[in-house]
């Protein structure tokens, strides 16, 4: 059972870190949040797990009558649009020098929402959780899914924390040019990946 838990962690870590859309969605939000950036990453992981459970549950319950595949394919396009919006929002924040209250809470909510869309988008996500169905016992299946969820949260929290730490130190050391370039990179990455995502989904 512990082995299946570890397999779930490995599967989720591989899935999350090899998805450019995953990283592009979190990058601008994490850079903006600095010290609390890990919360953004974890929030995305929670949303992603919820999205996976949603698409998996719909596919299982309504596979005979509900066009889950079509909805999932359109979700890929929506993910691309959301990535572009996140990138444009990051550029707006860069140009707008005024501080906005509760921006941390807004970033967390945005991360959860985008995470859900990512989890819901693409039937291929089901391939990630299929091993749970092939395991010999229900306990093993649950252990795999728990490991997958834990891995997703941990990996994205670490990734977002790393970006936030760099952003915070650059801000503390008054490295204005570096911080600006860092934010431009994050925003640009989100927009570029979003455009590519849409073009691959059409």
Strands (E), 80-186: none
Residue 65, pLDDT score: 63
Question: Whole-angstrom Cα distance, residue 167 to residue 122?
Answer: 32
Question: Whole-angstrom Cα distance, residue 196 to residue 1?
Answer: 39
- In terms of phi and psi (left: phi > 0; alpha: psi -120 to 50; beta: otherwise), the region of 175 is beta
CB neighbours (10 Å) of residue 67? Answer: 10
Model confidence pLDDT, tens digit, residues 52-93: 777 767 766 665 665 656 666 676 787 788 788 888 888 887
Question: Whole-angstrom Cα distance, residue 103 to residue 91?
Answer: 15
Question: Whole-angstrom Cα distance, residue 17 to residue 41?
Answer: 12
Model confidence pLDDT, tens digit, residues 157-191: 999 999 888 888 887 777 778 878 888 888 888 89
pTM greater than 0.75: no
Any idea where the domains of the chain sit in the sequence?
2-201
Residue 72, pLDDT score: 61
Q: How many residues does the chain have?
A: 202
Structure tokens at 197: 């995502």
From 142, 132, 125, 118, select the one nearest 46 (Cα to Cα): 118
């Amino acid at each position: 059972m512990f082995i299946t838990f570890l397999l779930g962690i490995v599967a989720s870590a591989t899935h999350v870190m090899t998805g450019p859309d995953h990283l592009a969605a979190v990058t601008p939000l994490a850079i903006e949040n600095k010290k609390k950036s890990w919360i953004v990453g974890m929030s995305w992981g929670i949303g992603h797990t919820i999205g996976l459970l949603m698409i998996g549950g719909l596919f299982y319950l309504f596979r005979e009558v509900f066009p889950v595949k079509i909805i999932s394919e359109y979700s890929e396009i929506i993910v691309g649009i959301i990535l572009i919006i996140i990138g444009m929002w990051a550029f707006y924040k860069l140009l707008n020098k005024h501080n906005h209250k509760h921006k941390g809470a807004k970033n967390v909510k945005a991360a959860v929402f985008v995470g859900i869309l990512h989890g819901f988008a693409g039937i291929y996500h089901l391939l990630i959780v299929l091993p749970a169905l092939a395991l010999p016992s229900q306990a093993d299946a649950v252990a795999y899914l728990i490991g997958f969820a834990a891995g997703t949260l941990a990996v994205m929290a670490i990734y977002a924390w790393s970006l936030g730490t760099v952003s915070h130190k650059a801000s503390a050391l008054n490295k204005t040019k570096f911080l600006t370039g860092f934010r431009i990179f994050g925003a640009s990455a989100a927009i570029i990946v979003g455009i590519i995502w849409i073009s691959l989904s059409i």
